[in-house]
Structure 1
Amino acid sequence: MKKPMKKKSKYLVPHLLLGSLWAFIVLGMALIQSVYAQDYSQQTGASSRTLGGEAKHWLETTVNDFLDIIDKNRADYDQNPLDLHQMLQEHALIFWDIPLMAKALAGKNWYQADDGLKKQLESEWKRTLIRYFNKAYPYYTNQRLKLENDIRCPAKNRCWLRMNTKIAADKGIDLDFYVKKKSKKGWLIIDIRVEGVSMMRHKQAETRMLLEKEGIPGVISALRQKNDAQHV
């Protein structure tokens, strides 16, 4: 099996992808830090194939169930954004590992932060994901998630899953989902890549200077300002 290719986006849509499509990336869900930096070497043996198959089944089922909810209630969500917000809380964000993603965003600063500061960052990161969902929501047109068989499990509880979707009739986009199996919560999404570009690494690069100057409080403030501006 070929390794996932890291290629530069051919399309002039980086802001749509890195802002909106990431939010809706699970085609509605279609819509870490050093932990993320795992090598891509594929594990061999039945255990790896079983793990990958389990991850694929979970992601396809979870996302398509989520999209069914959107399809059924689209008219309501179009008229009542608060209902969409509530649905995202109950049926989308529960499948994202918010604490791990917040930790990845903070980097080494995480270990000097108290519990209160960590919770604030987690809260604003959750609001940020909702903001991304909201921005991408108008682009959703009844797509369904179909994963490819290109599955990589670089660790005993983590897998990369790939799909290809279209944002226009002639533009196919490669999406990779990084999922982790948690003992009590089942599978959770911990990162996504659009055309080889990691959301978490992109956000880390975006906030690096702010972290160096103002620490986690500065990142919280910046995220909160954007979230408040969009009434998330």
Structure 2
Amino acid sequence: MFKAFSSILSLARARRLLGAGLLGLAGLATGAAQAQDPVDATHSPSDFVQTVANNALNAIKKDQGVKSGDLGRINRVVNEYVLPYVNLEKTTRLAAGRYWRQATPEQQNALVQAFKGTLIRTYSGAFTRVNQKSAFSMLPFRGDANAADLVVRSTLSQDNGPAVGIDYRLEKTAQGWKIYDLNVEGIWLIQNYRNQFSQQISQNGIDGLIAALNQRNQ
């Protein structure tokens, strides 16, 4: 069943790169932890991402359970500080591609939840590497800041590896900005998982993909 999950990347490399993406989201701030700042999704895209990331990093620094890899604590931080500002349903829908329309509403919801678990497990190692030496730099914005869909670029430097380029794709909704895709070192998250999802669904259907994700999430 899991042969379909071999993609253009090895699983280890995918985890390392995509994990850096969430570390970037949670690692935009450096220095001492500060009080949580209110997130205004109607601010500029860069300011929006910056605030979300600052709050996530501060929460990680304060929670030793997260830094030790406790998935329960990691889920709490992700649910509270990250997911409210991410359109995970859109991420999952785009990763599933044309197969999304073939799924029932129940299957769609189950796939979103299974994919959420996969992403958190993929990213969990990145949380354990958060330290005071992590440094994140926003790059100059390119494009139309008034566009409804745009990309914010950044660079993450760490003391345990080379600098990593991370881009965040955002959409403008009625509630303000939402993040729905990551590009880490030239690899877009949605595109990478679309390849894997397509192989799995073609062999075992939507339910087979959901079962495969949930099995790996155990």
Q: When the two structures are superposed, what TM-score results if normalisation uses the length of structure 1? A: 0.73
- Identify the residue that residue 49 of structure 1 maps to in structure 2: none
Q: CA deviation at 1:121?
A: 0.3
Structure 2 gaps of 5+ residues are 1-8, 28-41
- Identify the residue that residue 27 of structure 1 maps to in structure 2: 23
Q: 2:163 aligns with which of 172, 180, 192?
A: 172
- Please tell me whether the aligned partners of residues 157 and 181 of structure 1 are also in contact (alpha carbons under 8 angstroms): yes
Aligned residues: 195
- Identify the residue that residue 94 of structure 2 maps to in structure 1: 104
Q: 1:77 aligns with which of 66, 76, 84?
A: 66
| Distance verdict in 2 for CA 1:155–1:227, change over 3 Å | farther
Structure 1 gaps of 5+ residues are 1-12, 32-51
1:139 correspondence with 2:123: no
| Distance verdict in 2 for CA 1:170–1:107, change over 3 Å | closer
Residues in 1 aligned to 2:146 and 2:206: alpha-carbon distance in whole angstroms: 29
Q: When the two structures are superposed, what TM-score results if normalisation uses the length of structure 2? A: 0.77
% identical aligned pairs: 21
Over the aligned positions, Cα root-mean-square deviation in angstroms equals 2.8
Q: 1:160 aligns with which of 151, 154, 164?
A: 151
Residues in 2 aligned to 1:55 and 1:112: alpha-carbon distance in whole angstroms: 33
Residues in 2 aligned to 1:91 and 1:62: alpha-carbon distance in whole angstroms: 7
Q: 1:58 aligns with which of 34, 48, 56?
A: 48
- Identify the residue that residue 197 of structure 1 maps to in structure 2: 187
Give secondary structure in 2 for the equivalent of 1:150: coil
- Please tell me whether the aligned partners of residues 23 and 29 of structure 1 are also in contact (alpha carbons under 8 angstroms): no
User: CA-to-partner distance for each residue in 1:154-194, whole Å, 9 max, x for gaps?
Assistant: 9831111111122456722211111112112x221111111
Residues in 2 aligned to 1:191 and 1:80: alpha-carbon distance in whole angstroms: 24
| Distance verdict in 2 for CA 1:26–1:152, change over 3 Å | farther
Q: CA deviation at 1:15?
A: 5.2
Give secondary structure in 1 for the equivalent of 2:183: strand
